[in-house]
Amino acid sequence: MISRRNQRRLVGWFLLVMIFLCANYFFKEKILSIQVFNKQTPGDFENVANKRNAQNDDVANFAKSPLVKNARSSIVVYNRAPKCGSRSMMYVISELAVRNNFTDYESKNYSARKLEGEELQHQVDKIASLRPPVIYNRHLNFIDFRKYGYKQPIYINLIRDPLSRFVSHYNYMKYGDEVVERKMPEGLKENINDCVMLNHYICRVHLAIYEWIFFCGMENTCNVNTVYREKRFEIIKEHIEKEYLIIGISEEFENSLKLFEILLPEYFTGASDIWKRHNETRSKTATKKHDILTEEAENKMRNVNLVDSYRLYNIVKKKFNQLKEKYGIK
């Protein structure tokens, strides 16, 4: 039998040995790390710094690189342009929200797209306070959240061939569709061709550039008029190229969904399958009646009133086609 005194001595010696071994290991590791540090060249530190800077750049400017990492930690804003397939997209998003477990936040405000002052600040705070993963959608002009001290959300949108959109929007405002009943506005009682050929403001300016105002902003420069035409064009062009992860084309809705699935898989995986099983939206969003453009009126719209719209449309379409080619979408 070992006496209690001897047991305490053995435990004491054991603890001393363990302390010695741990200290010896620590000092060896410290010396080794100093040796490695001394062998590093300035280029080694520069490479580490470059890697860190590259990571920061990736996070700060997702628009320059199509693929977004950890998109579920970001707010997605779909500031939908009217008569560009938004109801179809909203249906797909609502179904995907259940499938992919994110929040589909659809604003019920369908009119006030341009905000200012306290109303604008309230809208910014509201969107910025949403908890990801979430897609917020509303008819709303572009907002630069960085000006208000917030992280910029991921922007997405859909656009449509300008002439097709113009005719659709005019007829929708005049006649409505299966979902929206409209009382014909006083200024739209005339035929669409008279509106075009007589240079009425709604056909010459308002509906000619309307969808692109959503890509511009809240500043007065972005108003629907011809005063800031070139400056407004440059702002929209810059936002299209730098601020939007993807802008789909409604004439290629299925290909658009495929690109959304590739670029934002956390949100859009399964979008194509959902759309293939769905055809109800297509009939409900068709306008009840159509005024049809004559060849003369169509040529005037294409070559005069819609010149800026087609310039912007072609910029979007070029980027869209480049993404299709990159990801092998036919």
**What would the pLDDT profile of 137-171 be if each residue is shown by its tens digit?**
999 999 999 999 999 999 999 999 999 999 999 99
Nearest alpha-carbon partner for 143 in 78, 58, 52: 78
Q: Using 50, 70 and 90 to split pLDDT, how confident is the model at 93?
A: very high
The token pair at 82 is 């009217």
Higher pLDDT, 290 or 182: 290
How far CA 316 is from CA of 157, 160, 255, in Å, comes to 11, 10, 14
Side chain identity, residue 165: R
Mean pLDDT over each residue of the chain, to the nearest integer: 82
Distances (CA, A) of 13 to 3, 6, 8, 17, 265: 16, 11, 9, 6, 61
Higher pLDDT, 273 or 1: 273
State the DSSP H helix or E strand holding residue 119, giving kind and residue range, or none if neither: helix 117-128
Indicate the helix (H) or strand (E) that contains 154: strand 154-159
Angstrom distance (rounded) from CA 250 to CA 270:
18
Does residue 287 carry a pLDDT above 60? no
Residue 52, both tokens: 């860190």
**Per-residue DSSP letter, 251:** G
For residues 207-222, average pLDDT: 93
pLDDT at 280: 59
The CA radius of gyration of the chain, in Å to the nearest whole number, is 29
pLDDT for position 227: 81
Output 108 or 79, whichever has higher pLDDT: 79
**Torsion angles phi and psi, residue 190, rounded to 5:** -75, 160
- Hey, is 190 helix, strand or coil? coil
Measured CA to CA in angstroms, residue 226 lies from 203, 218, 314 at distances of 13, 16, 21
Q: How far apart are CA 101 and CA 131, in angstroms?
A: 13
pLDDT (0 to 100) of residue 65: 45
Phi, psi of 244, rounded to the nearest 5 degrees: -105, 125
Residue 88's closest CA among 278, 259, 317? 278
Give the whole-number percent of the chain exceeding pLDDT 90.
61
pLDDT for 286 equals: 57
For residue 269, which amino acid is it? T
Strand (E) or helix (H) holding 281: helix 280-284
Average pLDDT of the residues in 249-255? 97
Contacts of 223 (CB under 8 A, 6+ apart): 114, 213
Burial group, residue 104, by CB count within 10 angstroms (0-12, 13-18, 19+): middle
Q: Is the confidence at residue 92, as pLDDT, over 50?
A: yes
Specify the range with the lowest mean pLDDT, choosing from 61-65, 103-107, 176-180. Answer: 61-65
Class for domain 68-326, per CATH?
Answer: alpha beta
pTM for the model stands at 0.76
